[in-house]
Every structure is written in structure tokens, then in C-alpha cells.
């Protein structure tokens, strides 16, 4: 099998790192890989903030619910959807930018995710480990204040990066047959796919926790979707200039 395919299939989230620093050379290699990700109409609607200030790192740890790797990882990046730069480009040409609309919000968010995933793969190819930090969305107003973000910029997620100091097992995913459909969405296979996955994820959780966690994927989804998460999000995004109309 192709070496890159093997690398992608071996991905694990790494939350514990050796003290070795991530070099500027490694960081810029990741950034160059990120910038070569696909981008809608070459908009490149994202920015990356490297957070090195210990006080800010500590504040971000608090925002994420006390995830210590946010503070301790050798490198912590915040990936932001960014239409501010595009607004500047329009102004430089004497034009007003129409930033409103769900499509523009989606373009910026998707561009950010694609770029970040390219960076993650590049990091792993260099022997580093990463974990995405969605917990920064617990309080985006505070994160925006800490990072001094202008209008039309919002933090999508953080990313911890460093040399792995743990060897977690690869978390099982749904079978390909549960996510691949032919021509039309084949609903009849969904139930069977979830039931089969529940068996494997229960075994995974029991093994990973030494028998302390007895749950399944579908039970975890109940916990995930039993209530509306981060209900403030729409109001915050509109405060930042993303008019979701």
C-alpha cells in the first residue's frame, strides 16, 4: 500500500507530547502544505495564529474545559475562518465587499478545515502528532478577545502539535459500507452499519479504559445530540460580521 495512504489510515489523536520543540522549519512546512489545500475560487479564507504567550495559553486551557495539552503542547495553533483579508482586498480596489450570506460563511469555514487537515497530515509525515481542539468554541467571545480578532474572523478550532509521548490505539471508524452509497442514499443500510459499529466501539472503549467505560458509538451520539450545543454561536457569528442570511 502507498506510504501516504498508510499514514492517513494510522491517524490517532495525540494529547501527550515530549518536550522537544516544533521547529520553525517544521511549522512553515506545515503551513506551506496547508496553503496548497483546495480553496474555493482561490479565496484562501483562513488565517492561523500561533499562540506562544503563556498567559494566553493558560486562558485558552480554561476555555477548553481544562485540557492541559492546550497549555503544555510544544505548539498550539488556532485556525480561523477569515474574510477580513478579502474585505481588505476589495477596499484596495475601491469596491465594497458583500460579506453577508451563508455561502460566504461556509466557504471560509470549509477553506479553514481543508487547510488545517493538510497541515495535520504534513505534521504526521514529519513524525509529529496532533489533536484538534474544538473546545475553543466553548467561549468564542473570550477567544476572540484574547487573540484580538477583527470583524469577519472567527476561530474554528485549535490544534496541539508535538512529538508524541504516547501510543494510543487507532480508534475504529464506521465500515466503508456504512458511509459509501451508490447513486442514491441507501437508508436501509444505515441501521445495520450503526449496529455493527456499536459492537466494535464497545470493545474498543472497554479495552482502552481497562473495563471502566462500557458504552457504544450510538450511546455516545445520544449524549452528543441530546441538547443544542453552544447555543450562543449564531449570535456570536453575526457579531463578528458573518450575517447568516
- 128 found inside a domain: yes
Query: What is the count of structural domains for the chain?
Result: 2
Rounded CA-CA distance 56/58 in Å is: 5
Based on the fold, state whether residues 33 and 64 are members of the same structural domain. Answer: yes
pLDDT (tens digit, 0 to 9) for every residue of the chain, 245 residues total? 799 999 999 999 999 999 999 999 999 999 999 999 999 999 999 999 999 999 999 999 999 999 999 999 999 999 999 999 999 999 999 999 998 899 999 999 999 999 999 999 999 999 999 999 999 999 999 999 999 999 999 999 999 999 999 999 999 999 999 999 999 999 989 999 999 999 999 999 999 999 999 999 999 999 999 999 999 999 999 999 998 88
CB 97 within 8 A of CB 90: yes
Rounded CA-CA distance 220/53 in Å is: 35
DSSP class per residue in 123-174: HHHTT-EEEEEGGGGGGHHHHHHHHT--TTEEEEEEEEEE-B---PPPPP--
- 239 found inside a domain: no
Based on the fold, state whether residues 152 and 196 are members of the same structural domain. Answer: no
**Exposed e or buried b per residue across 213-244, where buried means at least 16 C-beta atoms within 10 angstroms of its C-beta:** eebbbeeeeeeeeeeeeeeeeeebbeebbbee
CB 242 within 8 A of CB 104: yes
- 182 found inside a domain: yes
User: CA torsion sign, 43 to 107 to 144 to 34?
Assistant: negative
- 222 found inside a domain: no
CATH code, domain carrying 121: 3.40.109.10
Based on the fold, state whether residues 205 and 147 are members of the same structural domain. Answer: no
Based on the fold, state whether residues 181 and 152 are members of the same structural domain. Answer: no
Based on the fold, state whether residues 187 and 162 are members of the same structural domain. Answer: no
- 83 found inside a domain: yes
Rounded CA-CA distance 12/204 in Å is: 14
Based on the fold, state whether residues 107 and 129 are members of the same structural domain. Answer: yes
| pTM for the structure as a whole | 0.95
Based on the fold, state whether residues 59 and 151 are members of the same structural domain. Answer: yes
Based on the fold, state whether residues 146 and 165 are members of the same structural domain. Answer: yes
Of the candidates 167, 161, 155, the residue with the CA atom closest to the CA atom of residue 29:
161
The contacts of residue 210 (CB under 8 Å, 6+ apart) are none
Rounded CA-CA distance 37/181 in Å is: 26
Domain boundaries, position 207? 176-214
Based on the fold, state whether residues 182 and 150 are members of the same structural domain. Answer: no
The contacts of residue 198 (CB under 8 Å, 6+ apart) are 216, 217, 218, 219
Rounded CA-CA distance 9/192 in Å is: 23
Amino acid at each position: 500500500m502507498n506510504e501516504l495512504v498508510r499514514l492517513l489510515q494510522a491517524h490517532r489523536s495525540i494529547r501527550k507530547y515530549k518536550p522537544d520543540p516544533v521547529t520553525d522549519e517544521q511549522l512553515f512546512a506545515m503551513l506551506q502544505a496547508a496553503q496548497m489545500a483546495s480553496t474555493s475560487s482561490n479565496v484562501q479564507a483562513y488565517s492561523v495564529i500561533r499562540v506562544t504567550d503563556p498567559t494566553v495559553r493558560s486562558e485558552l486551557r480554561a476555555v477548553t474545559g481544562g485540557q492541559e495539552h492546550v497549555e503544555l503542547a510544544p505548539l498550539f495553533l488556532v485556525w480561523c475562518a477569515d474574510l477580513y483579508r478579502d474585505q481588505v482586498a476589495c477596499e484596495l480596489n475601491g469596491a465594497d465587499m458583500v460579506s453577508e450570506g451563508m455561502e460566504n460563511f461556509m466557504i471560509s469555514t470549509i477553506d479553514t478545515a481543508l487547510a488545517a487537515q493538510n497541515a495535520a497530515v504534513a505534521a504526521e509525515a514529519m513524525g509529529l502528532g496532533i489533536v484538534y481542539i474544538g473546545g475553543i468554541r466553548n467561549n468564542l467571545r473570550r477567544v476572540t478577545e484574547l487573540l484580538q480578532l477583527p470583524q469577519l474572523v472567527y476561530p474554528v478550532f485549535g490544534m496541539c502539535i508535538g512529538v508524541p509521548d504516547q501510543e494510543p490505539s487507532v480508534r475504529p471508524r464506521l465500515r466503508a459500507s456504512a458511509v459509501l452509497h451508490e447513486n442514491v442514499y441507501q437508508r436501509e443500510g444505515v441501521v445495520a452499519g450503526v449496529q455493527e459499529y456499536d459492537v466494535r466501539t464497545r470493545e474498543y472503549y472497554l479495552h482502552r479504559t481497562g473495563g471502566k467505560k462500557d458504552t457504544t458509538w450510538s450511546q455516545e451520539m445520544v449524549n452528543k445530540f441530546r441538547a443544542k450545543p453552544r447555543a450562543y454561536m449564531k449570535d456570536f457569528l453575526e457579531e463578528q460580521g458573518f450575517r447568516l442570511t
